[in-house]
């Protein structure tokens, strides 16, 4: 039986092994807000790669999974002044264990987590290295459904990338990949009235792509992909966004890059194995390496949610939520493409 010092969390014990078990509950430091985690959403990229042991950056196992969770503040440390009890906070997660025996990447699939008051730390002249990683912890307006708010993380990352790319009205955009990130890029491009916006993906995702704002769709298994792309945008594409990241994904469509266009490789399926043959393109193009910053787009994502421009139901099935202890089923539903993203209720009374 658990007490106040323990909680349940989804732990990747080693590559290929995901369990839900009791772990230490987080302790509250001076700049910390303890949160009851409400909902988390699965990520078809990061989560799947960590579970499979294929994440491109070093992971120490065992580790608590999850980075798209929303929490409600239930207690605050002595130096916290920008969070209050009852606030909804984005990207909250459990912290690594003090004894080093349990890591957290980023600890979102747990019953409790910590939001760090990065603004207070900055005001108190703490070293930037101590507060900068926690800029992801941002307050969410109470009128936003916490289940829908799990999408904020995906939307912030992809919107930051889209803005930094410079996509604007009438730009021709090609998005490769019909997962959560690909659909987000389509939505952001549609918002600024880019056109045409074409997606290459799984055939059954075409209706969702249309809802997100795609003006054209190509089944990646089709035998005439090149002919379809040429017909949908005869002058090529100003921006090609690879939301999959397999070794040859982007290279295969370089012939459709307009001269002076931009290639952005966002997906991580075969990170560091990407092959690009510049001579396939009809002219000079650039490769985007500008990254993203979640915090810089938080306010804009919230604004678009409140005005109805971002519709979480394109990504999430609110009638099908999973309990924390059933997270393996949620992961499988995304892996098998039965869901774009799976919603996990972390505070379910049945946990």
Domains of the chain: 6-147+316-345 (3.90.180.10), 154-288 (3.40.50.720)
Pairing of strands 197-201, 216-219: parallel
Q: How confident is the model at residue 3 (pLDDT cuts 50, 70, 90)?
A: low
CA-closest candidate to residue 2, choices 28, 21, 22? 22
CA-closest candidate to residue 337, choices 199, 180, 147? 180
- Please check whether residue 140 is in contact with residue 302, taking contact to mean a CB–CB distance below 8 angstroms: yes
Q: Is the pLDDT of residue 131 over 90?
A: yes
- Please check whether residue 55 is in contact with residue 106, taking contact to mean a CB–CB distance below 8 angstroms: no
What pLDDT does residue 281 have?
A: 97
Q: How confident is the model at residue 349 (pLDDT cuts 50, 70, 90)?
A: low
What pLDDT does residue 1 have?
A: 40
pTM of the model as a whole: 0.96
- Please check whether residue 19 is in contact with residue 11, taking contact to mean a CB–CB distance below 8 angstroms: yes
- Give the SS3 label for residue 98: coil
Compute how many other C-beta atoms are within 10 angstroms of the C-beta atom of residue 207: 11
Among 93-107, 147-161, 298-312, 328-342, which is the least confidently predicted range?
Answer: 93-107
What pLDDT does residue 166 have?
A: 98
CA distance linking residue 194 with residue 170, whole number of Å: 4
In sign, the C-alpha dihedral spanning 216, 221, 222, 223 is positive
Q: Is the pLDDT of residue 227 over 60?
A: yes
- Give the SS3 label for residue 141: coil
**Percent helix, percent strand, percent coil in the chain, to nearest 5:** 30, 25, 45
Distances (CA, A) of 298 to 129, 184, 243, 265: 21, 15, 21, 22
- Please check whether residue 229 is in contact with residue 249, taking contact to mean a CB–CB distance below 8 angstroms: no
What DSSP string describes 143-157? TS-TTGGGGHHHHHH
Average pLDDT, integer, range 159-188: 98
Question: Which tens digits make up the pLDDT trace of 280-308?
Answer: 999 999 999 999 999 999 999 999 999 99
- Strand intervals (E) in the chain: 6-14, 17-24, 32-41, 63-65, 69-76, 88-90, 103-105, 112-116, 139-140, 173-176, 197-201, 216-219, 237-242, 257-265, 286-288, 321-323, 343-345
Question: Which tens digits make up the pLDDT trace of 115-130?
Answer: 999 999 999 999 999 9
Q: How confident is the model at residue 99 (pLDDT cuts 50, 70, 90)?
A: confident
Q: Is the pLDDT of residue 351 over 60?
A: no
Question: Which tens digits make up the pLDDT trace of 177-221?
Answer: 999 999 999 999 999 999 999 999 999 999 999 999 999 999 999
Compute how many other C-beta atoms are within 10 angstroms of the C-beta atom of residue 126: 15
């Amino acid at each position: 039986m658990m007490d106040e010092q323990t909680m349940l969390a989804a732990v990747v014990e080693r590559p290929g092994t995901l369990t839900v078990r009791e772990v230490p509950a987080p302790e509250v430091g001076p700049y910390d807000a303890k949160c009851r985690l409400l909902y988390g959403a699965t990520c078809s990229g990061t989560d799947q790669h960590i579970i499979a042991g294929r994440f491109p950056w070093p992971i120490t196992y065992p580790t608590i999974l999850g980075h798209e969770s929303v929490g409600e503040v239930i207690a605050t440390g002595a130096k916290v002044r920008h969070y209050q009890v009852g606030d909804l906070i984005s990207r909250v997660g459990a912290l690594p264990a003090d004894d080093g025996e349990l890591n957290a990447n980023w600890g979102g699939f747990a019953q409790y987590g910590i939001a760090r008051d990065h603004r207070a730390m900055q005001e108190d002249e703490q070293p930037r290295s101590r507060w900068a990683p926690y800029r992801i912890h941002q307050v969410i307006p109470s009128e936003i459904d916490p289940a829908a708010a799990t999408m904020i993380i995906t939307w912030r990352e992809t919107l930051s990338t889209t803005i930094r790319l410079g996509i604007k009205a009438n730009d021709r955009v090609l998005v490769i990949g019909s997962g959560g990130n690909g659909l987000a890029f389509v939505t952001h491009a549609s918002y600024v009235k880019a056109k045409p916006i074409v997606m290459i993906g799984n055939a059954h995702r075409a209706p969702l792509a249309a809802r997100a704002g795609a003006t054209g769709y190509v089944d990646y298994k089709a035998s005439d992909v090149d002919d379809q792309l040429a017909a949908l945008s005869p002058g090529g594409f100003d921006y090609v966004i690879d939301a999959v990241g397999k070794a040859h994904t982007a290279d295969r469509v370089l012939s459709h890059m307009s001269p002076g266009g931009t290639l952005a490789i966002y997906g991580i399926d075969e990170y560091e194995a990407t092959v690009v043959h510049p001579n396939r393109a009809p002219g000079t193009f650039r490769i985007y390496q500008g990254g993203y910053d979640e915090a810089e787009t938080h306010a804009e994502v919230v604004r678009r949610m409140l005005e109805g421009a971002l519709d979480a139901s394109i990504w999430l099935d609110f009638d099908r939520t999973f309990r924390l202890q059933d997270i393996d089923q949620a992961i499988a539903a995304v892996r098998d493409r039965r869901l774009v993203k799976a919603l996990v209720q972390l505070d379910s009374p049945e946990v």
